[in-house]
Amino acid sequence: MRDIDPFSIRLFLTILEEGGIAKAAARECIVASAVSKRVGELESLFRVPLLERGVKGVTPTPAGEALQHHARMLLQAMERMHGEMSEYAQGIRGHVRVLAGSSALASHLPADMQDFMRAHPHIKIDLCENVTPAIFRSVMEGTADVGIAPDIANHESLQIHPYRTLTLAVVMPADHALSDRAELAYTDTLDFQQVELSQGSGMSALLEHAARDFARPKHTNIRVNSYETVCRMVANGMGVGVVPLFFARTHSDSFGLKFTPLNDAWARPMICLAVRDDASLPSASKAFVAHLQQRGVEERFQDSLLTSMTRHRDVGWPSMA
C-alpha cells in the first residue's frame, strides 16, 4: 500500500466539516478539481468509496465514517509529534499529558507532582481535570498518556496500576442526627437528602449502585461539580454527602462539618494510574507513573506499619523476661 498523504487526510476531514467539495476547496484555497483528485486517490488507495455525493452535498459512506475517526486521531498524533519535537529543540526532554479526577487532585497528587517536577525539571506535564469515565475514555483514545482516578468505572483495555487508597466519608453538619457515630454504613444516610457530584461522574455511579444493592430509594435533589461544593451545600443545610475523608482536614472547623468514615467494603476504592499500554509508553510518562507508584507504595507501607504498631499496643507487648 502506498503511503498516506497527511494533506489528503486533512482535505477529507475538511470536506466532511464543510459538507461539500467546493466549500472545502475554498477553505483550503485550492481548486475543487484538486480536492476531487485527492479524494479519488484515497478511494483508490483503500479500494472502497468514501463519500456519497448528492444534491445537498456529500456525506461519508460507512468506510468514510471509519476513515474520519482514524483521520482525526492521526492528525492529533501528528500535531502532538510536532509539538513535542519543538519542545525537545527548546530543551524539554519529555511531555506527559495527564487527566485526573477531583479525588486525586484534592489529596496527594499535587504534592507528588511537585516532587516529580523538581526531580525532572525538563519534563513538561499538562494536567486537566475531568470525571472518571471521561478520563479512562481519553486514555483509551490516546488523547491522554496517564489517567488518575478512583477504580470505580469501566476501564477495559487499559493497564491499571495502584496509586493511593481513597477513604470515603459521610459529610454532615456538626449537629446532625448521625454526627455521634464513629462510623457509618451508607444505608444509614438514605433517610436524608443527598448532595452528590453530577451524573456521569464515577462517584455518582458508585452511589447509585450502592443504593440499588440496598434496594432503598435515594433522594438526591442537588448535584454539583466538585467535592468542595458538596461540602458548602451540606454546610448550608442542603443534606448529607459522600466525599473523600481528607476533606476533614480543611473543612471540619471552617465549615462546621462532621466527617464520618463509611464502613462499607466499597468505600475504600483505590485511586489508580491508567495507561493504554505500558510497553509503548514514552520514557517521560513511564518515569511519571513509576514516581507516583512509589509514593503509593510508601503510603501503604506506612499504613501497614501503623496498623501493626496499633495492634501491638492494644494487645500488649510480649514480655522480655
- CATH number of the domain within which 34 lies: 1.10.10.10
Angle formed by the axes of helices 109-119 and 283-315, to 10°?
Answer: 130
Same domain, 111 and 200: no
Same domain, 128 and 176: no
CB 186 within 8 A of CB 168: no
Q: Which residues of 268-294 are buried (b: 16+ CB within 10 A; e: fewer)?
A: ebbbbbbbbeeeebeebbbbbbebbee
User: Is 285 part of a structural domain of the chain?
Assistant: yes
As a whole-number percent, the residues of the chain with pLDDT over 70 amount to 90
According to the model, what pLDDT value does residue 74 have?
Answer: 85
Same domain, 128 and 151: yes
According to the model, what pLDDT value does residue 288 have?
Answer: 95
Sequence-distant (6+) residues with CB within 8 A of 283 are 94
User: Is 64 part of a structural domain of the chain?
Assistant: yes
Task: For 218-253, write each residue's pLDDT tens digit.
Answer: 889 899 988 899 999 999 999 999 999 988 887 777
Same domain, 181 and 213: yes
Same domain, 130 and 182: no
User: Is 1 part of a structural domain of the chain?
Assistant: no
User: Is 317 part of a structural domain of the chain?
Assistant: no
User: Is 314 part of a structural domain of the chain?
Assistant: no
Task: For 125-147, write each residue's pLDDT tens digit.
Answer: 999 999 888 999 999 988 999 99
3-class SS letters over the chain: CCCCCHHHHHHHHHHHHHCCHHHHHHHHCCCHHHHHHHHHHHHHHHCCCCEEEECCEEEECHHHHHHHHHHHHHHHHHHHHHHHHHHHHCCCCEEEEEEECHHHHCCCHHHHHHHHHHHCCCEEEEEEECCHHHHHHHHHHCCCCEEEEECCCCCCCCEEEEEEECCEEEEEECCCCCCCCCCECHHHHCCCCEEEECECEHHHHHHHHHHHHCCCCCCEEEEECCHHHHHHHHHCCCCEEEEEHHHHHHHHHHHCEEEEEECCHHHCCEEEEEECCCCCCCHHHHHHHHHHHHHHHHHHHHHHHHHHHHHHHHHCCCCCC
More confident residue, 82 or 186: 186
d(CA 21, CA 136): 36
Task: For 106-121, write each residue's pLDDT tens digit.
Answer: 888 999 999 999 999 8
d(CA 113, CA 230): 26
pLDDT at 37 over 60: yes
pLDDT at 154 over 80: no
According to the model, what pLDDT value does residue 311 have?
Answer: 52
d(CA 40, CA 14): 15
* Residue closest to 194 by CA, chosen among 222, 217, 154, 224: 222
pLDDT at 1 over 50: no
* Residue closest to 258 by CA, chosen among 319, 175, 185: 175
According to the model, what pLDDT value does residue 321 have?
Answer: 46
186, HSE (Cβ side, Cα atoms, 13 Å): 23
Same domain, 66 and 97: no
According to the model, what pLDDT value does residue 155 have?
Answer: 74
Same domain, 279 and 150: yes
Same domain, 148 and 174: no
Same domain, 187 and 44: no
pLDDT at 317 over 60: no
How many domains, the chain?
A: 3
* Residue closest to 190 by CA, chosen among 208, 216, 172: 216
- Cβ burial of 303 (10 Å; 0-12, 13-18, 19+) is exposed
Of 63, 85, 107, the last residue of a domain is 85
CB 222 within 8 A of CB 233: yes
User: Is 65 part of a structural domain of the chain?
Assistant: yes
CATH number at residue 143: 3.40.190.10
User: Is 255 part of a structural domain of the chain?
Assistant: yes
Mean pLDDT of 63-83: 84
Residue type, 38: R
Of 56, 85, 114, the last residue of a domain is 85
Q: What's the domain range around 246?
A: 168-267
More confident residue, 191 or 254: 191
According to the model, what pLDDT value does residue 109 have?
Answer: 93
List the single range of 33-42, 82-91, 283-292, 303-312 with lowest mean pLDDT: 303-312
d(CA 138, CA 144): 6
Same domain, 276 and 153: yes
* Residue closest to 256 by CA, chosen among 237, 280, 278: 237
Same domain, 19 and 74: yes
pTM: predicted TM-score of the whole model, two decimal places: 0.65
Same domain, 125 and 256: no
d(CA 211, CA 190): 8
